[in-house]
Amino acid sequence: MTLPLETDVAGAAAASATRYRLITELFKTRCGPLWAASDEGGSVVALRPIALSAVVNDSMAAAIAEAARNGVGDRHDALVPIIDVEGGQGELRIVSGYHEGLPLAQLLRLQAARKDAISPAIGMRIALHVLDGLVFLHDAGYQPGGLTTENVLVGADGRSRLLEARMASAVSQVKVWAHHRDAVAYRAPEQLQGASWDAVRAEVFSVGAILWELLMGERLFGGYGYQSVIKMVAKRPISRIDTAAVQVSKAVADTIAWALERDPLARPATIVELASALRDGAEAVATTDDVAGLVDQVIGQAPATERTREAIARSTRPARIHVPSGRPTAGDGERAAVPELFRSSSQRRAGRCHLFVEIARGGMATVHLGRWLGVGGFAKTVAVKALHQQYARDPEFVRMFLDEARVVARIRHPNVVATIDLVEEAGELFIIMDYVPSVTLAYLTRRLQRQDSRIPLDVTLRIMTGVLHGLHAAHEVRDEHGASMSVIHRDVSPENVLIGTDGYAQLIDFGVASALGRYAHTRDGQIKGKLSYLAPEQITGEPLTRRTDVYSASVVLWQALTGRKLFQVSGLAEMAYALVNWEIPRPSQVGRAVDSALERIVMKGLSREPADRWETAEAMAEALESLGVM
C-alpha cells in the first residue's frame, strides 16, 4: 500500500513519463538535475524534471510552464532548443536537445579548483556566443530576467548555448531558487534593493556580471548570501576589470563597466547595444576549437564523463540492457546504465521500487539502493530506507512518523535530500528518497583523520553554509494557508550530512529525527539522538525551536574546525551536566588557528540560551559567507 504524500512528485512524474526514458544524470543546478534521456526513437535528449508543487503556487507554476512552452520552436546556434514540455502545474518535464558540455557555473568552479583561470580570449568567445543567443531572444520578444551562469552551456563542440533561458525570469520568482547563492550573485542592484526596475536594463547588468566573472575568474559578489549581497551592493564599489592583469582591451573593460553601472539609466538600453559595443571592442577572441579544447581538457579528467558517455552509448544501442562484469564503486549510481547491483533477482519490493544491495545501516533502519519503475520505461535510482521492525510495527510511532514525513516531503532545496514517497509493504515501512552518490561528513572526516589531515577551511565553510541553508529552507516550510509548519530536524550531525560527488552538502533524516524525538518523549521519557550534538534544551525539556538546530550545526562546525568532539562524554547524565556546567572552549583553544571573526560566529551559535544564538540558520550562513573565505 502506498501512503500518500501531500507532494507525491515521483508518482506524478512516473505517470507522465510515457515518451522518454531516463539514462543518466548529467549535472545539477539549483532547480534540480538535468538528465540524459532517450525518446521513443532512441534519440538522446536532455530532460529536466521540475517538481513545482512544493515550492510555488499555481500562478507561478503556470508562468514557468508557459515560459517553457514559449521556447518550443526557438532555433538558433546559440540556444539549446526546447523540444517538448510534458506535465502541468503540479510538475513539468522540460525536454531539450542534448549537447555534451558543462554549465558555465561548473566550468568556472572546476577551473578555480585547478587554480587555472579561463583565458580572456576563450572568455570573449563564450561571451559573444551568449550575446548572440540573447539578441535572438530579445528580437523574439522573450521576457528577460533571472539569467545566471547556470543558463550557459559550454559545449564540447566549442559552442556556448543558452540553456532554458526563457524560463529564467519565471524561475527567478520562486523564492527557494531566487535566493540561492548561485542566483543572487547576478541580480541587478535595483532588484536586490526592492526598487522597481526595467527588465532589459536589469538583464544587461546580469550579463555584465557574467562577463566580469568570465574574465576575472571570480564572482563580482562571490561567496555571499542573499542579505549580505544586498549590503555589499549598497556599499561596495563595483570594481573595473584591470586591463594590466587581464589581457583584454580597454574598450572591452569599459563596456563591461558600462553594463555594471549601479544606475540603470546609465547602462546600455538594450542587449543589442551591449553586444555591439563588446564585439567592436574585442581584439583577441578564441576560436570554437580553442573552447572545445578547454572543455575536453576539463571534462576529460572527470571519471563521471566517461561513465556518462558509456551509459548513453549503451542506452541507444538496439540491445538496451548490458550488465558489466564486476561490482561498481560507490558513487556510480545512475551513471551506470544497468550495473551489477541492479540485477533483477531481488524479490523484495516497496511499492513501485525494487530493492537491491544494502548501502547503509543504522540504529533505526537499513538503506538499500533501489530502482523506481514506472510506465513507458521510466526508471530512477533511489535510496530506500527500511525501518527496523520494532518501529514499523508500533502504531504510535508509525502515526507520528507519517505526520512528520508528510511535512518533510514539502521541503524542496538543493541542500536537502528529498523525500519522494512512503510505502507500507508486507508490514514494513519504507521511505523512498533521492539517491545521492556521496559519503557522509562523518566518513569524510574519519578518512582524513587517519591520514593526519582535516577538511580545508574553505571546504568546511562551504559544507556548513549548505547545511545551514538547507535547515533554513526546512524551518521556513509553510502549509497551504501560509502558516509555519515548525519543522525542526533535532538530529543535525555529521552522520546526517551527505557530501555529494557534485560538491553539494545535503541533509538527510528530517522525518526520522523529528518523529523519533516525539516518540521517545511520549513513550518512555528518554532522549534519543546523538549525544554529542544535542542542544541544552533537548536535555532540559524546554521547547525546541529552529535555534535548536542552529546549536547542533554549530557543534558540527566546531568539531570540523578542531578535529575533536565538543564534549568528550560517555552517557546522557554526563552530557546533561556538561551542557549546563562545562565551559565551551573556543576553537582556537583546542585546534587550528581560527580567525577571530569566524570564532565569534561559531561561539554565538553555541550560546546556551537559545535567545543568544543566531536567530535563523540563514543568518548564521550569511555571517559565514561574509567572511569571504569560500
Mean pLDDT score across all residues of the chain = 79
User: By C-alpha distance, which of 271, 270, 62, 88 is closest to 170?
Assistant: 62
The answer on 608 and 493 residing in a single domain is yes
Winning range, highest mean pLDDT, from 117-131, 404-418, 495-509: 117-131
Rounded average pLDDT over 555-576: 84
The answer on 369 and 294 residing in a single domain is no
The answer on 351 and 250 residing in a single domain is no
Residue count of the chain: 630
The DSSP bridge partners found for residue 84 are 95
Report the CATH number that the domain containing residue 423 is assigned in CATH. Answer: 3.30.200.20
The answer on 153 and 96 residing in a single domain is yes
The answer on 349 and 284 residing in a single domain is no
Whether residue 327 lies inside any domain: the answer is no
Cell numbers describing residue 219: 564572482
pLDDT class of 375 with cuts at 50, 70, 90: low
Which helix (H) or strand (E) segment is 245 a member of? none
Give the end of a domain, one of 415, 434, 453. 434
Cell numbers describing residue 551: 546549536
Contact 37, 47 (CB under 8 A): yes
Flag the least confident range among 245-259, 278-292, 354-368: 354-368
Whether residue 308 lies inside any domain: the answer is no
The answer on 447 and 415 residing in a single domain is no
pLDDT(14) > 60? no
| Cβ-based neighbours of 135, under 8 Å, separated by 6 or more | 271, 272, 275
Q: Domain tally for the chain?
A: 3
Please give the pLDDT value at position 628: 76
**Each residue of 300-329: pLDDT tens digit?**
665 566 667 667 666 654 333 222 223 233
User: By C-alpha distance, which of 102, 4, 96 is closest to 50?
Assistant: 96
Give the end of a domain, one of 266, 299, 332. 299
Distance of alpha carbon 267 from its chain centroid, rounded? Answer: 32
User: Phi/psi of residue 458, each to 5°?
Assistant: -65, -35
Rounded average pLDDT over 397-407: 71
pLDDT(620) > 90? yes
Task: Give the separation between CA 600 and CA 602, rounded to whole angstroms.
Answer: 5
The answer on 230 and 263 residing in a single domain is yes
| Dihedral sign, Cα of residue 147, residue 150, residue 154, residue 156 | negative
b/e for 133-165, b at 16 or more Cβ within 10 A?
Answer: bbbbbbeeebbbbbbbbbbbbbbbbbbbbbbbb
The answer on 264 and 139 residing in a single domain is yes
pLDDT class of 7 with cuts at 50, 70, 90: very low
Alpha helices by DSSP H, 236-326: 250-259, 271-281, 288-299, 303-315
Task: Give the separation between CA 207 and CA 473, rounded to whole angstroms.
Answer: 28
**Each residue of 42-87: pLDDT tens digit?**
788 899 887 765 555 667 777 888 888 888 878 888 999 898 888 7
Q: Domain range for residue 580? A: 438-625
* 520: three-class secondary structure by DSSP: helix
The answer on 595 and 572 residing in a single domain is yes
Higher-confidence position of 511 and 39:
39
Please give the pLDDT value at position 293: 87
Higher-confidence position of 29 and 274:
274
The answer on 456 and 412 residing in a single domain is no
395, 462, 565, 594, 612 from 587: Cα distances, Å: 44, 18, 11, 7, 19
